[in-house]
């Protein structure tokens, strides 16, 4: 199940188009994993990624070898417009966390995809959360593969 953040409604496809046009040059998406989270209804109200991370009910992953994943224009594709279905879809590639956990493991519950105007010097307060996705994985030292595919379809 996925949830769209209210701040991104009506803007998500345009934010991805900005990344693809290098507007600004270092813009991209960031993926943050959470090991505890608030309800989807509460999450949807946050207007920036810093607020999501700082909320008492949300705890970011900290398993061995965890890093926030960033996706730039070379990693993404333009949103797909389907005139027959009157929809527009945004997809992201699969991401891999090599040797995830082992020493320190987490049970993951949510993945957040956010637009950041500068993925080379991320300021979480400037990142706009787009979607939150249920994740049901526990790290154990093996590679963790998340196959995102289509993250949002608008109509």
Mean residue pLDDT across the chain: 96
List, as own/partner pairs, every contact residues 81-86 make where C-beta atoms lie below 8 angstroms and the sequence separation is at least 24, other chains included: 85/155, 86/155
Separation between Cα atoms, residue 42 and residue 60, nearest integer Å: 16
The answer, yes or no, to whether residue 104 has pLDDT greater than 90, is: yes
Domain of 89?
2-154
Q: pLDDT band at residue 148, thresholds of 50, 70 and 90?
A: confident
Average pLDDT for 9-26: 96
Query: Which ranges constitute the DSSP H helices of the chain?
Result: 12-20, 40-43, 49-54
Please give the helix or strand (H or E) that residue 152 lies within, else none.
strand 149-154
Q: pLDDT band at residue 40, thresholds of 50, 70 and 90?
A: very high
For the chain, what is the domain count?
1
Average pLDDT for 23-31: 97
Q: What is the pLDDT of residues 59-86, one digit of tens each?
A: 999 999 999 999 999 999 999 999 999 9
pTM confidence score: 0.96
């Amino acid at each position: 199940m996925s949830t769209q953040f209210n701040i991104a409604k009506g803007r998500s496809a345009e934010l991805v188009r900005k990344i693809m046009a290098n507007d600004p040059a270092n813009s991209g998406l960031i993926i943050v994993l959470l090991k505890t989270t608030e309800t989807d209804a509460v999450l949807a109200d946050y207007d920036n990624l810093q607020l999501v991370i700082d909320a008492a009910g949300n705890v970011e992953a900290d398993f061995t070898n965890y890093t926030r994943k960033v996706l730039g224009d070379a990693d993404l594709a333009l949103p797909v417009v389907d005139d027959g279905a009157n929809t527009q879809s945004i997809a992201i590639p699969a991401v891999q966390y090599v040797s995830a956990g082992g020493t320190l493991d987490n049970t993951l519950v949510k993945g957040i995809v956010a637009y950041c105007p500068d993925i080379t010097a991320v300021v979480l307060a400037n990142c706009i959360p787009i979607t939150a996705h249920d994740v049901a994985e526990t790290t154990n030292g093996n590679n963790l593969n998340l196959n995102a595919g289509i993250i949002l379809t608008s109509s």
